[in-house]
Structure formats: C-alpha cells, structure tokens
Structure 1
Amino acid sequence: MTVAAPIDHPAFFGDQHGYYERVREDGPGPRLVRNPHGLEYWLVTRHADAKAVLLDARFSKEPRRAARALSEAGYPDQGPGSFFLPLVNSDPPDHTRLRALVSGAFTPRRVAELGPRVEEITHQLLDEMDRLHVPGTESAPVDLMAALAFPLPVLVISELIGVPHRSRAALIGWATRMLTVSGAAGGGPGERTRRLGLWFGSLVGARRPGVRVERAPEEQPDLLSALIAAHHQEDRLSDEELVSLLVLLLVAGHETTTGMLGNAVDALLRHPDQLAGLRAEPELLPGAVEELLRYETSLARTTLRVAREDVEVAGAVIPAGAIVSVSLAAANRDPDVCPEPGRLDITRERAPHLSFGHGIHFCLGAPLARLQVRTALGALLTRYPDLALADPGQPQHWRPVGDMRGLLTLPVRLTEAPGAAA
C-alpha cells in the first residue's frame, strides 16, 4: 500500500508529526511510501516494530547493497561517498571492528572529563551573545541556532578529535553552511562528504608520526592520535576508513546535537508552563532533556536498510531487496508506549524513546549529546530569566531534510524591554 501524500513533500516539513500519525493510524505494520523523487520504501512507524527492525540482522546497512537497491529503484545518483560512512553504513564484522576503535572516546568517564570543557565553551558562546545587546534595554533578536546551537557541537567534537585550535573557526563556518539552505544546495551529500573527507585527509597528513602536534603535554591523547595509531597497526584501519570515521564523527556529532539543542529550546519556549516548571525546579533538567528528546527528536528517520530476504514485520512482508527506513520521530510518539504523546510534559515518567536508535547501531555519542544539551539548557535558563521567542506567532522554519528534524533559525530575545512585565 502506498501512502497517498508523498513523504518529504514540501508540506511534510511543517506537519511531520501529523503525517506520521496518519501513516500509523492507517493500520498496523510498515507502510510503503514514496518520496518526491519517486523512490518507494517501507516506512516503520510503530515503536515495537521499530525496535524489532533495528535489532534484526536480516536488514542490512552494507553500503554497496544500499547503493544497488537505490540504483535499481531509479533513484538519482548521490555521488561517490554517499554511503561510505562507517558505523552508520556497515554490518558486522566491519561494524564491530570500527565501533571498538572509537568507543573509548565516549565512555562515561571520558564524557564526564569533558564536562568542564563543555561548560566553558558554552559560556564563552553565551558571552559572545551578551555582546549583542545593551544591558537594561530590550535586546535585539538573536538567532540562537547561529550563536549557540551550530558552534557548540563543532567545538566539542573538535576538542574530542583533536582539531588544532587555529582550524576550528573555519570548521565551524564550513559545518554551519552544511546545515543551511544554501549549504544544502551546494552539491549533493556525496559531494559534501567528499570535500569534508579531503579536509580531514590533510589534517591526518599533518598528524602522521614525526610531525609536531599542537597539543599541550598535560592534555589527554585525542581521538585522532588513537585512530592514526590504529591505522598503522596491520588490518586495523584503512586510509579510507580513517578519514570516513572522522567525517562521521563531525557530521553525526554536529548535525544531531545542533538539532537536539535547537528543538529543545524551541519546545520549551513554546510551552511556557513547562519552562516555568523547569525554572522552578532545575533538578528536573535531566528528565526534562529526555522528554524533550522524545517530543522532538533531531533524527527523524534512520538511514536506509535493505532486506536480505523476505521479512515479515507486524503482518507485512517486506520482500528481499526492498528498502526500509525506521521513523524514530513516529516511534517516539506511539500512544502504545507513551500516553498523550503529543503533549510535552517534563515531569513525565520517562517514556522509552528511540532518539539515539537501538541495537548495534545505537548512537555512540549519546552521552556526549545529552551532556551538551543539559549544559546549554541549564546555562540559558540561569543566565536569561526573560528568554523568549522573538515572535511567538511566527511558524518554525525547519530544514528541508527528511531524515533530520532541525530548525534553520531560532530568533529569541534575551531580555524584556524595561517595564514590559508591569
């Protein structure tokens, strides 16, 4: 069965949750949908089905299999490199080997060690925001995406990887352009991946053994050093895998966390009762972050999987070779696991959201993403008691990217006009 309205149609981005709800109510099991390019694939929207598919090894993420399936479906060529992002697009044993190489950078201990630095970076960015208005006067609107949500994750990932300080400003600008309309129009995903790969290739070349590293002796070894060391061990990491891992860490760590932070702030500002509750009880922040992740996840759908064989999911037979995607946004609002799923409630007993995926591809960077969102929200609420949307009547401007859910801009006011509260 094909859903009448194509997915990712321009109207879809303004009513994503309504679309997924209509698909879910159309009947149990996955549904066959069609995007504006004419590509048909199976969309999984229910929470139980999503977990089952994400755990099922019969659905492959091997890049050549996905590229072949898309080619056979007549989908426009995405260019070289579109699918080779290891960890995201690989199956065991390659996925197991690659995940082991980077998992040490995301242990609870390592993330906790990054906490003070994340807080420092956050306040540095907010200091820059403060310079945009005169104390005691109504502030001009500030785009919170450009001022905080875009640069924070890039700076944190740069810190983790070991990007030299002199290169970070350029990387912020480059990565930010990828998340804007103009950046999205500047070549397909394969071309953007290729360009970023060239940039990281030059960075790797500058960090080969024997090349002086810009790092204080007391600092911990960064992830890039560890990956280069693994590269020089036989059969551990190829040149292509090394660069692609770095590309993935930046793209995944930046894009998803930027979206999470923007979505969380926007949701709170559009629900004044929830914002007031969080201000009154700041100890609710960790649970509030989980509810905000459930309510408006930045990863709306998983990357594509391909059925290795005929697979039955909730009564629907997905044929061998068919393309499948799981809607995490829809699964998070499944009423079977979350009562009143369209209502934001920061005191809700934690609903089992899938915003970081499930199974062997569960997001390695989830602890770091949570840390950044908690830190940024806490700092914003403490520093700006009058923080508000610049124009509450204006609709959100979502990025026109179907698998991601993130704002292009988030204009806010940091202070009220004198006497405005009277």
Structure 2
Amino acid sequence: MTLTTSTSRAEIDFSVYDPKSMDFVQNPWPVWDRLRTEFPVAFHTDLGVWMVAPHDLALEVTRSPRFSTSFADWEHAPPPKPRSEWNLYNEVMAFHLQNQSTEGHMRLRRLTAPAFSRKVMDLIEHRIRDSIVGVFDEIADPRRFDVADDIAAKVPIRAIARMVGVPSDADTLFEHGLGWNLVRAANPLYSAEERAQFQADTIPGLRFLIETVQEARSGGHSDDFIGTLIATEIDGERLHDLEIVALLISLISAGADTAVDLHTTALLAFLTHPDQWALLGERPDLYEAAVIESLRWGSMGKLGAIPRFPRDDVEIGGQVLPKGAFVYPLLGPSWVDPAKWPEPRRFDLTRNHAGNLVFGAGPHLCIGLNLVKVQGRLMLQEFRRRFGDTARLVGDLEYDPQHWNARRISRMTVATGA
C-alpha cells in the first residue's frame, strides 16, 4: 500500500492509478479492484484530488448536502470576477444548476421538470428518431463500418440538437465548438489559462442558443422542449432566457462528451453477449434496463461526473476531506463494486438496478436521464432493424488514452450481413 508515514492521509499516485495509461484504459478491472479494497478513500498526489471508490461511499458523497458542486467552493478556485468583467459565459454559468444554492437548485429543478416529463419526451421522440435514422443512413458501407465514428460520435449531439430545435447545419457548432469547450471550461484539472480559453470559445454557441430561445419565445408557446420551459409557470415564477440557456448547456455538455460512450459501450456489450441481444429482441420492455446495464457493465468513466467540494471538513471512510478539497466520487469502480452488484462483470439485462449510480443520485441526479434512455433505446432499435443479429466485431478495439474522463473507444469495427 502507498501510504505516507508522516500523516494519516491515505495517498496514491500514478503508480497506483494513471487515468491515461493504456494498460488501464484497456483493462481497468485490476485498478478498480485495488482502489476499492486498498485505497477506498485516498488523495491522488499527482492529480491533486481526493478519490472515493466503493459504491456505498461514492453514494454518500454524491447525495450528501455536506458537499458543494460549485466550482467557486474549490479551495484553489480563482477569485470571482467583478460583475463588470463578466463575459457571456460567466453570465450564463451564474444560472447553472451546479452553481446554485440549495434553494435555487430546487427552484430550477421544479421549473424545468415538466420539460423532462415522459409526455414531452414522447412528443419530441420523432425528432430524435429521425436524427438517428439519418446517422445510420450516412454510413458509407453498412457491411463494414466503425461504430465509434459512424454512430457514437454523431447520435448524442444530434439528438440533443433536435430536442432543442437546432437545425442540422448547426450540429458542428454544438459538437466541435460549444459542447467540446463546455466540458473543459470549468474543469479544475486544466490550468487557469486553458480554462479561460475554453470559456471564451463557448461564446459563439451561447449567442446562438440565446437567439434560439428568444425566437421560440416570440413565436408563441408549443409543447416541445424549449416551448415547455418557456411556458412553465409555478407559483407565479417562470424561467428567464439565461436560465433556459444554462439548462441547455448542461445537456449539450453531456451530449458532446459523456453520452458518446453509451453507444459504443452498449453495442460492445450486446455484440459480445448474443444471448442478451436475443433476450432484448424477445423482451422490448428491457430497453431501459439495457441502457443502464450497458453503462454499468462498461464502467467507461475514468474519474467522476460532477466533482464535489466539502463545505467543511468531512470524514468519509476514515479519511478527513478538508473544506474546499476537490473530491471525485469515482463512478467507474462503484459501478462494478461486488458489494453492490453480484457478479459485477456479468452483463445481465434482468439485473435489479435499484440504487444504481449510473445517472448520479440525490439532488444532482442527471436531469437529462430520460433523454439518454430515449436515444439509447432508439439507437439499439435502429441497429436491430437494419442488421438483426448479423453484426460481429472485426479486429481489436482501439482506445484514446488521452481522453480526460473516459476510456474512450476510438475505433470499433463491425461487419454485418447488410
């Protein structure tokens, strides 16, 4: 064990866990096992962050009000800019869910919940379906193609763009401009200079979204996503334009980055478990379980979802996490923790997923989880409609070890009977 002798703080370094190691990216299970058993709560000296690995402790951190999700509560956060120096990124982020007080967070959740209802998801599903059909139509040779480039890189951001009502010619603005920069703009693992550049590069996309919301507001209310956000009124309160845009960028961040791994992981799971693919064909009621189990089984995350910052010194798992520390509840090892999941590396659609952390937990449960489930189901249904059970993996998987927060599959070649 790598423990310091001069302090009771448990410490690890890249010799224990290197997120950019190709050995880890290709085979994370020994590292996940070691973190859970030897270093359940430990400070990573090379990254400067605390890591919490077991499911029960990660759940405690995720749900506890003793932790903040606001970047401003990090002990090394830069001093806040005077309001006179704010750019558009700063103005929008002031209304982001992660940066609200408990009361403000609950207010935004209450006012945005109707737009994420099953009813609204059903109404916009045809838009998402059309975008996914379009992705499959674009595959140059359906007899042999790369799932990573031809499906996974396109489906999430297009689904969100259609949900928001963005025209197809704006997809690249989301994917390579706004989305890419959003996921890095407030990440403490980047330097202050890098974060400032990422933030500045979000501004063209933010302006586009503000114009989109203003056009929707002037065009009258409708039952689509933005229309529902505009129309919702609870106890005399409504969302204003920047609050709506702040919500949209939360979805775009997920769609431009983290949701990409759902599609490669789900198809990898089913192509290596044909019995479960057959079961899904027999049991269409299992599509939601298929999305959850694919993500859990794949354990693609390197670090965590939303970092936490203790509001005061907090003891977790025998370690004291000081106020303002940067804390990652590690989703990867928690999703395959045998203390929570019997035979955790077995892919099983009939598994009981109660209490899972796949979409987080507590007040910051992923607000777009219905969208993720819809796009995952539609992608799998379209894959089955086109290729049935003829698809098979060809060659080895390729990974991008440099990806900041995912064991990103960069190439996954599939051959079909199409």
Offset at 1:243?
4.2
Give the number of aligned pairs: 386
Offset at 1:23?
0.7
Identical amino acids, percent of aligned pairs = 25
On the 8 A contact 1:332/1:352 being kept in 2, the answer is no
Which residue number in structure 1 is paired with residue 67 of structure 2? 59
Query: Which runs of structure 2 are paired with 1:157-236 in the superposition (5 Å)?
Result: 157-168=160-171, 170-172=173-175, 174=177, 188=194, 190-205=196-211, 208=214, 220-223=223-226, 226=229
Q: Which amino acid aligns with 1:86?
A: H
Query: Which deviates more, 221-230 or 43-52?
Result: 221-230
Could you say what the CA RMSD is over the residues aligned between the two structures, in angstroms?
3.7
Q: Deviations 1:136-161 (Å, cap 9, x if unpaired)?
A: xxx2x312233222222222212222
Q: Deviations 1:293-340 (Å, cap 9, x if unpaired)?
A: 211255551232111212111222222232211011211111111111
Rounded to whole Å, the distance in 1 between the matches of 2:221 and 2:217 is: 18
Q: 1:388 aligned to 2:392? A: yes
TM-score by length of 1: 0.78
Q: 1:325 aligned to 2:336? A: no
On the 8 A contact 2:120/2:224 being kept in 1, the answer is no
Corresponding residue SS for 1:397: strand
On the 8 A contact 1:294/1:351 being kept in 2, the answer is no
Give ranges in structure 2 of 5+ residues lacking alignment. 1-9, 80-86, 183-189
TM-aligned CA distance change 1:85 to 1:353, over 3 Å: farther
Rounded to whole Å, the distance in 1 between the matches of 2:61 and 2:263 is: 28
Which residue number in structure 2 is paired with residue 413 of structure 1? 415
Which residue number in structure 2 is paired with residue 119 of structure 1? 129
Q: Deviations 1:18-57 (Å, cap 9, x if unpaired)?
A: 3221111105x412223xxx33222111111112111211
On the 8 A contact 1:356/1:363 being kept in 2, the answer is yes
Q: Which residue, 23, 27, 32 being the options, matches 2:35? A: 23
Rounded to whole Å, the distance in 1 between the matches of 2:121 and 2:232 is: 22
Offset at 1:86?
1.5
Offset at 1:357?
0.3
Offset at 1:405?
4.2
On the 8 A contact 2:132/2:155 being kept in 1, the answer is yes
Corresponding residue SS for 2:49: strand
Q: 1:13 aligned to 2:20? A: no
Which residue number in structure 2 is paired with residue 69 of structure 1? 76
Offset at 1:252?
1.7
Q: Which amino acid aligns with 2:158?
A: L
On the 8 A contact 2:399/2:407 being kept in 1, the answer is no
Which residue number in structure 2 is paired with residue 358 of structure 1? 361
Corresponding residue SS for 2:315: strand
Q: 1:132 aligned to 2:109? A: no
Which residue number in structure 2 is paired with residue 136 of structure 1? none
Rounded to whole Å, the distance in 1 between the matches of 2:21 and 2:78 is: 24
Q: Which amino acid aligns with 1:22?
A: R
Which residue number in structure 2 is paired with residue 275 of structure 1? 277
